[in-house]
Amino acid sequence: MPEATEELCSLDRIDRIIDRYGGQRSALIQVLLDIQKEDKWLAEESLRHVASRLNVPLPQVYQVATFYKAFSLARRGRHLITVCMGTACHVRGSPRLFDRVSQKLGVGPGKTTHDGRFSLLTVNCMGCCALGPVLAIDEDYHSNPSAADLGRILSQYE
Ligand code: FES
């Protein structure tokens, strides 16, 4: 799959991340977090390389990568949209907000838009309940955007 290969975190780049932590096995989670942050997902090739470089058995690497919600083994879009479905946001209308976003993007939870721009996820609290219902696009938080607001906000992301 040439397209997938082009977008993979290059092994040189992964080496640089690993070197940042002195190649320590104990840095496994941090290494995976850094790769996840750069690539938005953990490709099998990346996990195999990490296992080999840190001398950690591959099943153990997969165990960590599948245990934490912060990691994705599926390709994600260039931007991550997270809608909070925690209790405070829920009572303030997060299901309706989620529906607006889902309709606008044309994808359901855990899915990525066809153009690869956005992936849509839900979480149970972002720690900013007073803004609820709230969504985040990457690191930017938005309090209950209307459908019109959403269109304007989404257009700012390539
Ligand atoms: S419940 Fe949504 S931010 Fe806390």
Secondary structure (DSSP) of 119-136: EEEEES--S-GGG-SEEE
Q: How much is the pTM?
A: 0.71
3-state SS, residue 92: coil
**pLDDT score recorded for residue 40:** 83
153 lines ligand 1 (CB under 6 A): no
Q: How far apart are CA 115 and CA 82, in angstroms?
A: 18
Is residue 73 within 8 A of residue 116, CB to CB? The reply is no
Ligand 1: does its nearest atom lie under 6 Å from the Cβ of 126?
yes
* Residue among 84, 121, 123 to mutate when testing ligand 1 (max atoms within 8 A of CB): 84
Residue pLDDT, tens place only, 132-150: 999 999 989 999 999 999 9
Judge whether 100 and 90 are in contact, CB under 8 Å.
no
